[in-house]
Structure 1
Amino acid sequence: MTEYHGNVHVGGPVQTHELAQLMISKVAVGPMNNNAYLLRCRQTDEQVLIDAANDADTLLTVIGSGGITRVITTHQHGDHWQALAQVVAKTGATTVAGREDAEGIPVQTDETVGDGDRIKVGRLGLEVIHLAGHTPGSIALLYDDPTGAPHLFTGDSLFPGGVGNTRGDKKNFESLINDVETKLFDRLPDETWVYPGHGADTTLGTERPSLPEWRGRGW
């Protein structure tokens, strides 16, 4: 197995992060270079997909014969659900999204979630963290690994170098930066691995010194 570094590109190979109890496979899809993540419980082989963003055939190949029980959509923007209908049609998976974003996703959301809710992945669980600002119902997903660092899937709310785009809306930016600071940086340790909706991975420790700069620049 190739050492995991989290750098993927459209048409390129999948990167797989092997944890003690969870396998995380990262693939890039679509014209907007979205990241999709397949999570598999190593005890039960149950799988969950985060963001059926595009390229259904690619995602279904990554999912393989084991299928998936759920597809979680991190937020309502169209580049994160282009393949959702096809993936659900092929797998019969339950759809999950943030409560405030569900109406903006044109595939029915079977389960709406909010702060503190838990989503099962076999014998493991993901904690839902609501981060309002990029969209009203954006969610991050936390896997608090009992054997190592936490792992955090942030959608488009946190990237290397800043929070998600709030399109110049001061109120939305303040909401997002406050949520990211209080719910992520104030709570989780520096070694927390961050998996964003586009581009390379990072850690909270790498980004933490830049928080005052982000707040000062307003984006």
Structure 2
Amino acid sequence: MAGAPRVEHLVTSGTFSLDGGTWEVENNVWLIGDDDEVLVIDAAHDAEAVLAAVGDRQLTAVVCTHAHNDHVNAAADVADRSGAPILLHPEDEVLWKMTYPHRRPDGELADGGLLDVAGVRLLVMHTPGHAPGAVCLYAPNLGALFSGDTLFADGPGATGRSFSDFGTIIASIRDRLLTLPGYTTVHPGHGASTTIAAEAPHLPEWVARGW
């Protein structure tokens, strides 16, 4: 028996670099699957740790919510050693090439696309702002949203660096994410999980502060 589908969580540590700066970061790696197969969201920093979490299950895909180096820097190693494809929205190619100038992702994520693993269907939602090709993955039957760096427990993702835009991320959050059921658990790329209901009332504050 494959067991019930479940969400698994791994925290890895490393650095994020952009615009000439480098910062120490901790990243959330999310795994969705059962005892037989699993999908990885954001293979960050530590391929060994990600592969250990996968174990002897079939890895169906390495999905990148966006291509900042801290979210993709273990993706190639994990993919090469597992045979799984790397999936990325094409509008993040400019960021992807900063980490992998000589390698392309294996497949494209598109708004409205569907990914299936272990009986769980994930809807791809293009949510630009933090990055041009940023996506979130929504699993209705799990009541879960994997938000990358678009939405956190304390507000929207950062937009102060290249290829980001505050107005765009606010529109993505307002029009795409806050329309989901309030009970939806939000699993972000960094930090603690939250819910749509917990974050929705704060949208006017974020707009007023400009972040």
Coarse TM-score class (shorter-chain normalised): 0.7 to 0.9
> Percent identity of the aligned residues?
37
Distance 1:103 1:46 in 2: 31
Alignment of 1:75-86 (within 5 A): 75-86=66-77
Displacement of 1:21: 4.5
Aligned CA RMSD, in angstroms, stands at: 1.8
Deviations 1:98-138 (A, max 9, x none): 12113532242111112111112133211001111101000
Return 5+ residue gaps in structure 1 as ranges: 1-19
Aligned to 1:101, the other structure's residue is in SS state: helix
Q: Which has the higher strand share?
A: 2
Displacement of 1:94: 0.9
Matched, 1:38 2:31: yes
Deviations 1:112-169 (A, max 9, x none): 1121111121332110011111010000000011xxx620000001001110000078
Aligned to 2:200, the other structure's residue is in SS state: helix
Task: Give the partner amino acid of 1:115.
Answer: D
Task: Give the partner amino acid of 2:8.
Answer: S
Residue in structure 2 matched with residue 29 of structure 1 by the alignment: 12
Deviations 1:46-70 (A, max 9, x none): 2100011111111111010113010
Please tell me whether the aligned partners of residues 102 and 112 of structure 1 are also in contact (alpha carbons under 8 angstroms): no
Distance 2:66 2:161 in 1: 19
Structure-1-length-normalised TM-score: 0.83
Matched, 1:56 2:44: no
Please tell me whether the aligned partners of residues 9 and 31 of structure 2 are also in contact (alpha carbons under 8 angstroms): yes
Matched, 1:117 2:117: no
Deviations 1:153-194 (A, max 9, x none): 00001001110000078x811111011111111x21111100
Distance 2:160 2:105 in 1: 26
Selected match of 1:133 from 126, 129, 133: 129
Matched, 1:92 2:91: no
Structure-2-length-normalised TM-score: 0.86
Aligned to 1:54, the other structure's residue is in SS state: coil
Return 5+ residue gaps in structure 2 as ranges: 15-24
Task: Give the partner amino acid of 1:157.
Answer: T
